[in-house]
Protein backbone atom coordinates (compact mmCIF):
# COMPACT_ATOMS: atom_id res chain seq x y z
CA UNK A 1 0.00 0.00 0.00
CA UNK A 2 2.69 2.44 1.08
CA UNK A 3 4.84 1.19 -1.76
CA UNK A 4 2.27 1.79 -4.48
CA UNK A 5 1.61 5.27 -3.08
CA UNK A 6 5.26 6.30 -3.29
CA UNK A 7 5.60 4.94 -6.83
CA UNK A 8 2.50 6.94 -7.76
CA UNK A 9 4.05 10.10 -6.36
CA UNK A 10 7.27 9.27 -8.16
CA UNK A 11 5.32 9.09 -11.42
CA UNK A 12 3.64 12.37 -10.53
CA UNK A 13 7.02 14.04 -9.91
CA UNK A 14 8.34 12.57 -13.16
CA UNK A 15 5.34 13.85 -15.10
CA UNK A 16 5.69 17.30 -13.52
CA UNK A 17 9.37 17.43 -14.45
CA UNK A 18 8.51 16.36 -18.00
CA UNK A 19 5.94 19.15 -18.29
CA UNK A 20 8.46 21.68 -16.96
CA UNK A 21 11.10 20.48 -19.42
CA UNK A 22 8.62 20.59 -22.28
CA UNK A 23 7.52 24.11 -21.44
CA UNK A 24 11.16 25.23 -21.22
CA UNK A 25 11.96 23.76 -24.63
CA UNK A 26 8.76 25.29 -25.96
CA UNK A 27 9.72 28.74 -24.78
CA UNK A 28 13.20 28.25 -26.27
CA UNK A 29 11.68 27.37 -29.62
CA UNK A 30 9.47 30.39 -29.37
CA UNK A 31 12.29 32.81 -28.58
CA UNK A 32 14.45 31.48 -31.42
CA UNK A 33 11.69 32.18 -33.94
CA UNK A 34 11.34 35.61 -32.34
CA UNK A 35 14.94 36.50 -33.24
CA UNK A 36 15.06 40.10 -34.37
CA UNK A 37 15.01 39.91 -38.14
CA UNK A 38 17.19 42.26 -40.15
CA UNK A 39 16.56 44.09 -43.35
CA UNK A 40 13.43 44.09 -45.41
CA UNK A 41 12.34 40.89 -43.64
CA UNK A 42 11.02 43.15 -40.90
CA UNK A 43 13.97 44.43 -38.87
CA UNK A 44 14.77 48.01 -38.02
CA UNK A 45 18.11 48.18 -39.86
CA UNK A 46 19.16 47.28 -43.39
CA UNK A 47 20.29 43.68 -43.86
CA UNK A 48 23.33 42.51 -45.81
CA UNK A 49 23.55 43.90 -49.34
CA UNK A 50 20.65 46.23 -48.62
CA UNK A 51 20.38 50.00 -48.71
CA UNK A 52 17.40 51.71 -47.19
CA UNK A 53 16.17 55.03 -48.44
CA UNK A 54 14.86 56.61 -45.29
CA UNK A 55 14.23 60.22 -44.30
CA UNK A 56 15.87 61.29 -47.57
CA UNK A 57 19.12 59.50 -46.76
CA UNK A 58 20.71 56.38 -48.23
CA UNK A 59 21.47 54.05 -45.32
CA UNK A 60 24.26 52.99 -45.38
CA UNK A 61 25.76 55.95 -47.26
CA UNK A 62 28.58 53.74 -48.52
CA UNK A 63 28.16 50.02 -49.06
CA UNK A 64 31.06 47.72 -49.92
CA UNK A 65 30.42 44.38 -51.63
CA UNK A 66 32.25 41.77 -53.69
CA UNK A 67 31.77 41.52 -57.44
CA UNK A 68 28.68 39.54 -58.40
CA UNK A 69 26.66 40.90 -55.48
CA UNK A 70 23.13 42.12 -55.96
CA UNK A 71 22.29 45.16 -53.88
CA UNK A 72 18.66 45.96 -53.15
CA UNK A 73 17.49 49.47 -52.32
CA UNK A 74 14.21 49.76 -50.44
CA UNK A 75 12.32 53.02 -50.29
CA UNK A 76 11.15 53.44 -46.69
CA UNK A 77 9.89 56.95 -47.32
CA UNK A 78 6.32 57.83 -48.31
CA UNK A 79 7.46 59.64 -51.47
CA UNK A 80 9.41 58.54 -54.51
CA UNK A 81 13.20 58.46 -54.90
CA UNK A 82 15.60 57.25 -57.53
CA UNK A 83 18.89 55.38 -57.36
CA UNK A 84 20.81 56.89 -60.25
CA UNK A 85 24.44 56.22 -61.06
CA UNK A 86 26.50 59.42 -61.46
CA UNK A 87 28.26 57.76 -64.41
CA UNK A 88 25.22 56.20 -66.12
CA UNK A 89 25.82 52.64 -64.95
CA UNK A 90 22.35 52.14 -63.47
CA UNK A 91 19.15 54.10 -62.98
CA UNK A 92 16.17 52.85 -61.04
CA UNK A 93 13.68 55.42 -62.24
CA UNK A 94 11.24 56.52 -59.55
CA UNK A 95 11.03 53.99 -56.73
CA UNK A 96 7.63 54.46 -55.12
CA UNK A 97 7.03 54.23 -51.38
CA UNK A 98 7.86 50.71 -50.16
CA UNK A 99 9.25 49.92 -53.61
CA UNK A 100 12.61 48.28 -54.26
CA UNK A 101 15.34 48.39 -56.88
CA UNK A 102 18.05 45.78 -57.33
CA UNK A 103 21.25 45.87 -59.32
CA UNK A 104 24.00 43.27 -59.64
CA UNK A 105 27.55 44.66 -59.58
CA UNK A 106 29.77 42.45 -61.72
CA UNK A 107 32.59 44.96 -62.17
CA UNK A 108 34.93 46.14 -59.44
CA UNK A 109 35.05 49.86 -58.88
CA UNK A 110 33.54 52.79 -57.05
CA UNK A 111 30.03 53.73 -58.11
CA UNK A 112 28.74 57.05 -56.80
CA UNK A 113 25.02 57.58 -57.19
CA UNK A 114 22.33 60.08 -56.33
CA UNK A 115 18.59 60.64 -56.28
CA UNK A 116 17.21 62.53 -59.26
CA UNK A 117 14.37 63.93 -57.12
CA UNK A 118 16.63 65.44 -54.47
CA UNK A 119 20.16 65.98 -55.72
CA UNK A 120 21.34 66.34 -52.11
CA UNK A 121 20.80 62.60 -51.67
CA UNK A 122 23.99 60.78 -52.59
CA UNK A 123 25.50 57.39 -51.89
CA UNK A 124 28.40 55.21 -52.95
CA UNK A 125 28.75 51.55 -53.86
CA UNK A 126 32.26 50.13 -53.62
CA UNK A 127 32.70 46.82 -55.46
CA UNK A 128 35.78 44.72 -54.77
CA UNK A 129 37.11 41.52 -56.24
CA UNK A 130 36.52 38.70 -53.73
CA UNK A 131 39.50 38.02 -51.51
CA UNK A 132 41.28 34.83 -52.49
CA UNK A 133 41.84 34.07 -48.80
CA UNK A 134 45.61 33.49 -48.87
Q: What is the DSSP letter of 95?
A: B
* 118 in contact with Cu ion (CB under 5 A): yes
Stretch of 57-65, 66-74, 75-83, 106-114 lying at the interface with Cu ion (CB under 5 A): 75-83
What number of other Cβ atoms are within 10 A of residue 122's Cβ?
Answer: 14
Stretch of 22-30, 40-48, 110-118, 122-130 lying at the interface with Cu ion (CB under 5 A): 110-118
DSSP-based helix, strand, coil % in the chain, nearest 5: 25, 35, 40
Stretch of 17-25, 59-67, 99-107, 115-123 lying at the interface with Cu ion (CB under 5 A): 115-123
Q: Collapsing DSSP states into helix, strand and coil, what is residue 122? A: strand
What minimum distance in Å lies between the beta carbon of 104 and Cu ion?
22
Whether 40 and 18 have beta carbons less than 8 Å apart is answered as: no
Candidate residues 117, 122, 124, 128; the one interacting with Cu ion per rule CB under 5 A: 117
List residues near Cu ion by CB under 5 A.
Answer: 81, 115, 117-118, 121
Amino acid sequence: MKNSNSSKSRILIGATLLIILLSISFSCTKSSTNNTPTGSKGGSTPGANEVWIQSMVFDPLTITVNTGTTITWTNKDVYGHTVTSDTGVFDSGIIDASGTFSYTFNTAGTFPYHCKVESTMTGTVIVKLPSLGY
